[in-house]
Amino acid sequence: MNQEVDVIYNRYGEPILRLLDNGRFVGFDGKSYGFFDGQNLYNYNGQHVGWLENGIMRDHDSACVGFGENPTDLPRPMLPFKQFKPFPAFIEFEPFRPFKQFVPFKPFKKFSWSEIEPKNLFSQTV
């Protein structure tokens, strides 16, 4: 457990988050940011913050927040070159996973980038 299964890059190709095999998102600093259930993204307050489909992370406006190692979801913006991944820090204990908020209506996917960074997506108030 705690094996990396994907990395989420931002709009500039910087590696920002690691997706672990238990559906948890951690930064390269080892801090927990949120978790993944089905295609839905949640923060540790139980708020639904977006979706992750076929390697593309989207916000509630369905704009692209980040992308994984091998994204296939369309439509999407032009993706940058990926930068080198830093060495990951020790992973802290996962916070308790709360009850999850209902999943909102999913809008049509956009070609554009979101103004939200991948880490900040999980700190958004919904």
Assess if residue 97 is contained within a domain. yes
Give tens-digit pLDDT for 82-91: 999 999 999 9
In a domain, 47, yes or no: yes
Over the stretch 5-55, which tens digit does the pLDDT of each residue have? Answer: 999 999 999 999 999 999 999 999 999 999 999 999 999 999 999 999 999
CB of 47 closer than 8 Å to CB of 30: no
Entry pTM: 0.93
Instruction: Report long-range pairs for 107-110 (Cβ below 8 Å, ≥24 apart).
Output: 107/60, 107/61, 107/62, 108/62, 109/58, 109/62, 109/73, 109/74, 109/75, 109/76, 110/58, 110/61, 110/62, 110/63, 110/64, 110/75
In a domain, 126, yes or no: no
Does 67 fall in a domain? yes
Give a yes or no: residue 40 inside a domain. Answer: yes
What is the count of structural domains for the chain? Answer: 1
